[in-house]
Structure 1
Amino acid sequence: MDFNDTPEEAAYRARARAWLEANAPGADPRGGEAAFLAAAKAWQARKADAGYACVTWPKDWGGQGEAPIMGVIFAEEEARLPTPGDPFSIGLGMCVPTVMTVGDAAAKRRFGGPAIRGEEIWCQLFSEPGAGSDVAAARTRAVRGADGDWTVNGQKVWTTGAQFSDFGIVVCRTDPDAPKHKGLTMFWVDMKAPGIEVRPIHQMSGGSGFNEVFFTDVRVPDSQRLGAVDDGWRVSLVTLMNERLAVGVSRGPGWPAFLEAARAIPAADGRMALADPAIRDKLADWYVQAEGLRHIRNRTLTALSRGQTPGPESSIGKAVAATQTQNLASEAVEMLDQYGVIDDPDLAPRQGAFQAWFLSSPGLRIAGGTDEILRNIIAERVLGLPGDVRVDKDVAFKDIPTGR
């Protein structure tokens, strides 16, 4: 494991840092979703003009053809500065690469450039009420007509950004007589097409980032199919691997933020909260976990730097980081005591970051693979333990009990 940049990587980091310091526009403006999207699109276009958008994409996709480590370096440098939020991560990290890998020539020409420039936003339509972590249990049906095109009916749920997305990729059941992993097909869809209805889900954090999406007799041309008929599971693995790598990085306030608050918040006996041995013990645990995660990430970076493909160890990062973020946020709100009930972000410590993550962090243990799914991956693919029992592996999907 090498913790240092190569000379080439160091030079790229210096160029990226200088450009970002000269061009970063600051955080999201206040003004709601419209202002957020406008600022994010403007920033994405500015990065694209300078050659810093999708730097690792092949040049024939419209990218820069840089090594994967260069994309990581730019992301690290960008994270150092306040910039607008990113509604493009799902599209650029998961959806459009899938289209560019298995889509036809027309789709590749149509979608690469606008996606890089932030002109269009994508969402991922996988989860359903009865198919969350088990994506292969999808029941949304796509039936092929005599003209070769498809009619889609069904429901998706927990779709991030669907309310402002232009396009999406959707996994549908096309052969209920085949085992569940072998009867799926993936398509790209226009989110404004007739028959698609998006209903935002009101979350306990106050936001509505997730959505239910209903398909009612939606016509999908066969030209929008991604990959072969009934080969959607193999295609979806491309998307899922990218998703779990992206979600594996904790985006909540880490232990340094907790330490900062503990130094400033008085405890019941008049001393600062940091003097409490129990709080110091928790900080020590979180620090050790954070260092372990850092070294796992360095392992991934080393593989990328050498042109290698990172292994399933990234599942460890997601499993640990999601739990740590939830525990840290819960302990922080409890430590803040009366300061923790302030509902004005301008008055709350760190602009209410701990309160926001207290409400939203449980979702991290579900998004991108539940704790249980990730532990199975770690057990089977990292530790080499026997595979989990799968009694429905060779059963026709139509014959699998629904539990209803």
Structure 2
Amino acid sequence: MDFDDTPQEAAFRSEVRSWIAANAPKHLEEQLKRAGFASSGIESEDPMAASKAWQKKKADAGWACLHWPKEYGGRAATPIERVIFGQEEGVYGALSGPFIIGHGMCGPTVMAWASEEHKRRLLPPLASGEEIWCQLFSEPAGGSDLAGLRTKAVKADDGSGDWIISGSKVWTSGAQHSQWGLLITRTDPDVPKHKGLTMFFLRMDSPGVDVRPIKQANGQSGFNEVFFEDVRIPDSQRLGAVGQGWEVSLTTLMNERLSIGSGMSTGFPELFQFCMDAEIDGRPAVDDASVRSRLAQYAVRQTGLKYTGMRAITALSKGQTPGPENSIGKLVAGATMQDLAMFALDLQGQAGVVWDESSPMNARFQAMLMRSPATRIEGGSDEILRNIIGERVLGLPGDIRVDKNVPFKDIPTSGRSQA
């Protein structure tokens, strides 16, 4: 690995640093330092408005979605220049939260599969933050088996060529704020499940779309249920051919794992600081041998994640595309966050059950614990990621699939037909 900037990268870093110093919303800096675990940390103003204002300022100056082509709202920058911008943006990067799914997952899919007309219409306002996108994939009965989805798309019988959508999605992040959604549906139940899928994009304010926020354990509602009752979508809003939805979805999923895993925090710096400040029996917690042992374990994981990420950055710098090993980052970081939060609350004793401004470190570990189970599910559950690492990184045999060549309608499920 090479940790040094090339002369060109150093010049780019200097340019980025100067622009951020002159334009960043510095009045939000202290609040943004508290960001994380599904919260922007902003309390002095509307967080969404602050996020949109910063994203629009970046877009107007040519710093939004740097690696996208200029005609789609980007800068045509190299992948490593994108990494450098993220490093220099620092705490202000927390303002990008509402746009992560659109920029990291939906945008690349639209760019790869949509018509040129749609790309020029949809991508610039997505890059600038003027329009927000969500990803309509997971379903109540599907679990981690995306190809087992049941939301149906059938051709309208009026000869218009439109599609009629019925069904539901769940765990859709940011749907309540989104203008557009990327939707995968089943169009043919008579073929094996992976072959009967078709991808569309649609307006979230289309008649028949009902978004219902889910109240989470941490008191927030970042996830949603989305219901479709005879929603009409023009065939022009189809991505890929009919039946090609699985292939299209792989574009989204590949970018999803990279987007989520690369930016996930474990909370280790906060825990280390807490152990320096907190006391056990009148002495700093860090003086306790068992506490130091746990800190050492977390430090090893944190360092491993850091250098695994640097391997990906080095690959980007060389023009290479990081592979399935990026699943390691999300798998390790998600589990570490949950374990670390539980340890921090154990150290707090009875105070660990309190969640208000009087809690140590402004209840950061309480928020971390309530949010961490979701990090181990979204973007691929731990089990899915282990399969990816085992099969595609380590070369182990794949799981046995008894439904591989079975038409979807013939796959048993509680004795009911899928047709």
Scaled to the shorter chain, the TM-score interval is over 0.9
Partner of 2:376: 365
Structure 2 residue 117 is the aligned partner of structure 1 residue 106 = yes
Contact 2:71 2:120 (C-alpha < 8 Å) held by counterparts: no
SS of the residue corresponding to residue 279 of structure 2 reads coil
Partner of 2:20: 20
Deviation at 1:59, TM superposition (A): 2.1
Report the residue type matching 1:265 in the other structure. A
Deviation at 1:177, TM superposition (A): 0.6
Contact 1:123 1:167 (C-alpha < 8 Å) held by counterparts: yes
Write the distance in 1 (CA, Å) between the matches of 2:7 and 2:143: 44
Write the distance in 2 (CA, Å) between the matches of 1:256 and 1:197: 41
% identical equivalent positions: 56
Partner of 2:413: 402
Structure 2 residue 86 is the aligned partner of structure 1 residue 75 = yes
The more displaced of 9-18 and 251-260 is 251-260
Partner of 2:35: none
Partner of 1:233: 246
Partner of 1:315: 327
Structure 2 residue 54 is the aligned partner of structure 1 residue 43 = yes
Report the residue type matching 2:413 in the other structure. T
Contact 1:262 1:272 (C-alpha < 8 Å) held by counterparts: yes
SS of the residue corresponding to residue 97 of structure 2 reads coil
Write the distance in 1 (CA, Å) between the matches of 2:190 and 2:148: 13
For residues 166-205 of structure 1, what are the structure 2 equivalents within 5 Å?
A: 166-205=179-218
SS of the residue corresponding to residue 95 of structure 2 reads coil
SS of the residue corresponding to residue 88 of structure 1 reads helix
Partner of 2:10: 10
Deviation at 1:64, TM superposition (A): 0.7
Q: In 2 relative to 1, CA 116–85 (structure 1 residues): closer, same or farther, beyond 3 Å?
A: closer
Partner of 1:155: 168
Write the distance in 2 (CA, Å) between the matches of 1:318 and 1:280: 25
Report the residue type matching 2:43 in the other structure. R
Report the residue type matching 1:302 in the other structure. T
Contact 2:73 2:128 (C-alpha < 8 Å) held by counterparts: no
The one-character-per-residue Cα deviations of 1:307-348 (angstroms, maximum 9, x if unpaired) are 11111110111111110111111111111224323322x332
Report the residue type matching 2:107 in the other structure. V
Contact 1:250 1:321 (C-alpha < 8 Å) held by counterparts: no
Deviation at 1:403, TM superposition (A): 3.5
Structure 2 residue 302 is the aligned partner of structure 1 residue 285 = no
Report the residue type matching 2:294 in the other structure. K
The more displaced of 128-137 and 333-342 is 333-342
Deviation at 1:85, TM superposition (A): 5.0
Contact 1:100 1:107 (C-alpha < 8 Å) held by counterparts: no
The one-character-per-residue Cα deviations of 1:107-135 (angstroms, maximum 9, x if unpaired) are 11211111111111000000001123211
Report the residue type matching 1:383 in the other structure. L
Write the distance in 2 (CA, Å) between the matches of 1:186 and 1:376: 25
Write the distance in 1 (CA, Å) between the matches of 2:139 and 2:67: 32
Write the distance in 2 (CA, Å) between the matches of 1:218 and 1:23: 43
The more displaced of 165-174 and 285-294 is 285-294
Write the distance in 1 (CA, Å) between the matches of 2:94 and 2:261: 21
The more displaced of 383-392 and 196-205 is 383-392
Write the distance in 2 (CA, Å) between the matches of 1:93 and 1:250: 11
Report the residue type matching 1:168 in the other structure. G
Report the residue type matching 2:116 in the other structure. A
Structure 2 residue 312 is the aligned partner of structure 1 residue 306 = no
- Which sections of structure 1, spanning at least 5 residues, go unmatched? none
SS of the residue corresponding to residue 373 of structure 2 reads helix
SS of the residue corresponding to residue 400 of structure 2 reads coil
Count of matched residue pairs: 400
Normalised to the residue count of structure 2, the TM-score between the two structures is 0.92
For residues 337-352 of structure 1, what are the structure 2 equivalents within 5 Å?
A: 337-344=349-356, 346-352=357-363
Partner of 1:84: 95
The one-character-per-residue Cα deviations of 1:119-154 (angstroms, maximum 9, x if unpaired) are 110000000011232111110000012321100000
Write the distance in 1 (CA, Å) between the matches of 2:205 and 2:349: 46
Work out which of the residue numbers 132, 140, 153 in structure 1 matches 2:151. 140
Deviation at 1:183, TM superposition (A): 0.5
SS of the residue corresponding to residue 309 of structure 1 reads coil
Contact 1:24 1:83 (C-alpha < 8 Å) held by counterparts: no
Structure 2 residue 389 is the aligned partner of structure 1 residue 378 = yes
The one-character-per-residue Cα deviations of 1:249-299 (angstroms, maximum 9, x if unpaired) are 3544522211110111111x2112112211111110111111111111111
Write the distance in 1 (CA, Å) between the matches of 2:57 and 2:352: 38
The one-character-per-residue Cα deviations of 1:17-73 (angstroms, maximum 9, x if unpaired) are 2222222212354268xx111111100001111211001001232211111111111
Normalised to the residue count of structure 1, the TM-score between the two structures is 0.95
- Which sections of structure 2, spanning at least 5 residues, go unmatched? 33-39
Write the distance in 2 (CA, Å) between the matches of 1:81 and 1:231: 38
The one-character-per-residue Cα deviations of 1:141-180 (angstroms, maximum 9, x if unpaired) are 0001232110000000000000111010000000101111
Work out which of the residue numbers 345, 361, 377 in structure 2 matches 1:333. 345
Q: In 2 relative to 1, CA 99–333 (structure 1 residues): closer, same or farther, beyond 3 Å?
A: same
Contact 1:250 1:325 (C-alpha < 8 Å) held by counterparts: no
Deviation at 1:223, TM superposition (A): 0.7
Deviation at 1:96, TM superposition (A): 2.0
Partner of 1:210: 223
Report the residue type matching 1:110 in the other structure. R
Deviation at 1:351, TM superposition (A): 2.2
